[in-house]
Structure 1
């Protein structure tokens, strides 16, 4: 449980860091605002077509009597919007990080310098960093889409589909959201996607403690735009813990029996 609390603390520390550096926070709002406009337009379209989509996907229920067809399709609408929320949360972060790549990388470097006196540099040109970021974000989104399809299918299971599955969806969203945000600092350290996923899995509670509250915050309209700069700062602090660097864990010691991963320079 210490790791779970520590993950939440890193999220709060990141928000405090940008609160002390208002200029960096202000510039960090621009990528999120640009992305938000596109997602708002997509949400309007989805709201109009969701009923038709669920009806098209369940033609076998057309002959069901009332109220069963309404209850069944209403439950599926809940699962459908849950899957959409999970996917939109991850994709919003990925798109915002891609749009704001130069700023967020500079922000992450400043956090490293403030905390440890030094910051890793990838040494790659900007176009190369953007290409790697886009390619690895796409690979993450494929994994998220697979989880989304699986959870949507499990949503057909009575009771579990409307209780356990939404909770599992938030856990999956939180994990991959943390992956996207920590990628900014880990890419500078030369850690590829596969190793990043291994690092995060080695400290699941720490990762979920950071990512799940953020996923819940992202459900509130416009909140994602305002917390993104602080989320990047907090993710950098989280990375310093994962890599065994100088920043101490804010709450307790690492879980017993979990080895500290080596640095990948």
Structure 2
């Protein structure tokens, strides 16, 4: 029992360190404020697009749930509303999961030249760039597309989970945690690819740091839940992810 308690404490401690890791990204504002400010631009463009889409979804959510549940029209009112509220929560949870994936992927793709400069600046400030083995443009497009596809799949799974009575109430939490981890994986991908690691090698290296990776992803994703937060956090997230990838690679080596 004591060993399990100690393991749980260590795991939670690593998660907490991962959450706190984002501070390293914000600290880089003191080093290159102008470059970090440029990182707002692609994030602002993508955030505005996604905010508009989510507003449209929210405004039409009642109509969507009614159209999807015509069989419940003759039910008792409490049963009808229970089904439709459950469906509405599931739809929103799935949409938020997909938004988290897609926002990160599209922002990194749209802002590739800017975020690459931030990543390089962080590497130089931390001790120097690794030997240049950076991914090409089409590799970046492929990685972004893979993340969006993962978002669609996991968003669908969260939506299906949300349809299960009682258990479905956990769908937003499950979706948030899954999205957080995958967003962290995407943010750390480029610095690790530059070190010659393919996707399977990156996953294997980061497996030992899953709690810290999850905590970092949670910290980034919490900003996504605040209006404008995703714009504020994006440059810092890129900087912090670069340092996290660097630390993971150096420790493994």
Q: TM-score, normalised by structure 2?
A: 0.88
- 2:137 & 2:65 partners in 1: Cα distance? 37
1:255 alignment partner in structure 2: none
Aligned to 1:205: 211
Partner of 1:142: 149
Deviation at 1:222, TM superposition (A): 0.8
C-alpha contact (below 8 Å) 2:15/2:211 kept by paired residues: yes
State the match for 1:115 in structure 2.
126
Q: Could you tell me which residue of structure 1 aligns to residue 7 of structure 2? A: none
Per the TM alignment, residue 166 of structure 1 is displaced from its structure 2 partner at its CA by 1.9
Distance change in 2, residues 1:194/1:149 (3 Å): same
CA contact (8 A) 2:102 2:151 kept: no
The alpha-carbon deviation at position 187 of structure 1 amounts to 2.6
SS in 1 for 2:196: coil
1:9 to 5, 13, 20: 20
Task: Report Cα offsets for 1:170-202 as digits up to 9, x if no partner.
Answer: 110110110121123123223223333333333
Residue among 52, 56, 60 paired with 2:67: 56
For the structure 1 residues 58 and 169, does the alpha-carbon distance in structure 2 shift closer, same or farther, using more than 3 Å as the test? same
CA contact (8 A) 1:35 1:95 kept: yes
Q: CA deviation at 1:82?
A: 1.4
8 A Cα contact 2:18 2:216, kept in partner: yes
Q: Which moved more, 1:186-195 or 1:131-140?
A: 186-195
Q: Which residue does 1:27 correspond to in 2? A: 38
Residues in 1 aligned to 2:34 and 2:219: alpha-carbon distance in whole angstroms: 25
1:1-265 aligned at under 5 Å gives the runs 1-122=12-133, 129-162=136-169, 164-244=170-250, 260=252
CA distance in 2, matches of 1:70, 1:236: 47
SS at match of 1:243: helix
Q: For 2:250, what is the secondary structure of its paired residue? A: coil
Larger helix share, 1 or 2: 2
Q: Which moved more, 1:210-219 or 1:1-10?
A: 1-10
Question: 2:65, 2:84 within 8 Å by CA — same for their partners in 1?
Answer: yes
What stretches of structure 2 of length at least 5 have no aligned partner? 1-11
Task: Kindly indicate whether the alpha-carbon contact (under 8 Å) linking 1:109 and 1:120 is maintained by their aligned counterparts in 2.
Answer: no
Unaligned runs of 5+ in 1: 246-259
The alpha-carbon distance between structure 1 residues 94 and 108, as it changes in their structure 2 partners (threshold 3 A), is same
Q: 1:201 to 1:53 in 2, by over 3 A?
A: farther
Three-state SS of the structure 2 residue aligned to 1:67 is helix
Q: CA deviation at 1:84?
A: 0.7
Q: CA deviation at 1:238?
A: 0.7
Tell which deviates more after alignment, 45-54 or 217-226.
45-54
* Structure 1 pair 81–74 and aligned structure 2 pair: CA distance change class (3 A): same
The alpha-carbon deviation at position 217 of structure 1 amounts to: 1.3
- Farther off after superposition, 52-61 or 203-212: 52-61
Measure the CA separation in 2 of the matches of 1:239 and 1:178: 10
1:75-115 CA distances to partner (integer Å, 9 max, x unpaired)? 22122111111110111111110011011112111111111
TM-score (norm 1): 0.84
